[in-house]
Amino acid sequence: MKAIMMATLVVAGSFYCLAQPPATPAWPVTGEPVPAFTLSNVKYHTSKTITPTDSRGKWLILDFWSKGCVACVKSFPKVNEMQQAFKENITFVLVGNNEQQYNKDIEHVYETYRKRMGLQLAVAFDSTLFERFGINAVPHVIVVDPAGKVYAITSSGLFEKETLQALIDNKKPAYYKSYSNFEKMPEGTHKVWEYFITEGQQVPEDIRYRSVLSQYNGGANVGGGTLATDADRRLYQCVRFNLAQLYNTAYYGVSSWMYGHPLYARTWPRPVLEMRDTTKFKADYTFSTGLYNYSLIVPQPGIGNIQVAMQADLQRYFGYEAFIETRMMPCWKLTATPEGMKRLTTKGGPVKYEESPDRLLYTNQPLEVLIRNIEYYSSQWAYPIIDETGITQRIDIELEAAKADFEDMRKALEALGLKFELVRRPMKVLVIRDPMR
């Protein structure tokens, strides 16, 4: 979709460090044969070693991860599901970074998740391969075709049946490109959207009203946040927003919120879609589909003026009816037993905060820190948490659980006297539906 500009009335950073590449490139390059490598001490596989030639005739997907990567850990169940579904055509291998400064117990962490998630995936640990391939961020996924050539180097988002089936059927799906330390990003990769007004720029005084919406097609991910950011400049703008974020911003003033925000547990975090076709609301950040750039200039400053104009824009651009009403919605009620309250009450002493993906230790911390941590790690955040523990004092808590596994966290917390119960409470809900005929 080309940029859409509504009537305009005229009145009168990240630092990228490029490592020095070796004389003979030894990192994967899309379209070229994958460099020779050997993964040793492979677990839960038919062989203790894996090389590129072992998988000739099948697709090979190397999924690089580290202990602290929440997105990586959350993807494990999905990767496991896809391995079982496509085991005749694809071999998935998890490659963990076992460097000793930040990941020294990564093998133990993986074993915890493997048992609790029921994973049946080949896994190896090799920090030297991270270095050799110039991997500077995770998730980092290398897709090798049956002929041994690198098909794609990406971050994530390819673990869907439709996408993998397209690979097998040679339909050549395109992926977002991830870069290694040895590669220079193409010119324009971080180019700012042409309609974006940077902080140092002035909103043109001769433009009284302007509205521009386009599909995101790459470039710097800037802007967004809340309507308050530039309301005094008569301006709102965002880049790489999905449609739900745009609607939330138009009706609530923010695109999303977490525990502690005034809207949290009082307002449902996502629009409720009551329409025949919800395709426009499906965003894919790997393939950059369902994402939009938006810039709005209004005649008078103020959040209210921007919201009114933005709501009208969305109705004109997409044609849906939208309104807010109160409905009974699900949420997690957190309570504490008397024994739990007594056990958790802090004994004082220095404030301590230690955590890993399968363990946490807090001393003299507010309960809010625990709730925020659970919310951050868990994959269950369809539902808000309501704190009805009655705990106002600081707490000491130590537990071992797979923090990305909500059920495992529930069991561990219940043993300490904290209980999650699924209930329904009245909340404001943004309803979006097809227009009445």
Residue 306 shares a structural domain with residue 349: no
* Residue 232 DSSP class: G
Cα 265 versus chain centre, distance: 21
pLDDT at 376: 82
Q: Residue 230: inside a domain, yes or no? A: yes
Residue 172 shares a structural domain with residue 44: yes
Q: Residue 2: inside a domain, yes or no? A: no
pLDDT at 198: 80
Q: Residue 179: inside a domain, yes or no? A: yes
pLDDT at 25: 60
At which of 262, 284, 319 does a domain end?
319
pLDDT at 16: 38
Give yes or no for a contact between 230 and 25, defined as CB atoms under 8 angstroms apart. no
pLDDT at 223: 62
The number of distinct structural domains making up the chain is 3
Cα 387 versus chain centre, distance: 25
The model carries a pTM of: 0.82
Give yes or no for a contact between 284 and 290, defined as CB atoms under 8 angstroms apart. yes
Give yes or no for a contact between 127 and 98, defined as CB atoms under 8 angstroms apart. yes
Residue 231 shares a structural domain with residue 305: yes
Q: Residue 126: inside a domain, yes or no? A: yes
Q: Which domain holds residue 260?
A: 190-319
CATH assignment at residue 37: 3.40.30.10
In 10 A of CB 160, how many CB atoms? 14
pLDDT at 102: 85
Q: In whole angstroms, what is the distance from residue 333 CA to residue 383 CA?
A: 10
Contacts of 95 (CB under 8 A, 6+ apart): 39, 62, 63, 64, 65, 123, 124, 125, 126, 129, 130
Residue 58 shares a structural domain with residue 134: yes
Per DSSP, the three-state class of 398 is strand
Q: Residue 1: inside a domain, yes or no? A: no
Contacts of 153 (CB under 8 A, 6+ apart): 28, 30, 140, 141, 142, 143, 175, 177, 178, 179, 180
Q: What type of residue is 12?
A: A
Cα 347 versus chain centre, distance: 37
Residues in the chain with pLDDT values less than 70: 1-25, 156-158, 187-190, 219-225, 379-381
pLDDT at 222: 63
> Using alpha carbons only, what angle is made at residue 65 by residues 64 and 67, rounded to the nearest 5 degrees?
160
At which of 263, 291, 319 does a domain end?
319
Residue 222 shares a structural domain with residue 301: yes
pLDDT at 221: 61
Q: In whole angstroms, what is the distance from residue 170 CA to residue 93 CA?
A: 21
Q: Residue 364: inside a domain, yes or no? A: yes
Residue 136 shares a structural domain with residue 280: no
Place of tokens 């097998």: 168
pLDDT at 386: 96
Residue 165 shares a structural domain with residue 197: no
Q: In whole angstroms, what is the distance from residue 409 CA to residue 380 CA?
A: 11
Q: Residue 324: inside a domain, yes or no? A: no
Residue 304 shares a structural domain with residue 366: no
pLDDT at 220: 62
Q: Residue 434: inside a domain, yes or no? A: no
Residue 294 shares a structural domain with residue 370: no
C-alpha dihedral (323, 325, 329, 333), degrees to nearest 10: 120
Residue 178 shares a structural domain with residue 227: no
Residue 123 shares a structural domain with residue 138: yes
Residue 314 shares a structural domain with residue 339: no
What's the half-sphere exposure (Cβ side, CA atoms, 13 Å) at 318? Answer: 26
At which of 185, 200, 235 does a domain end?
185
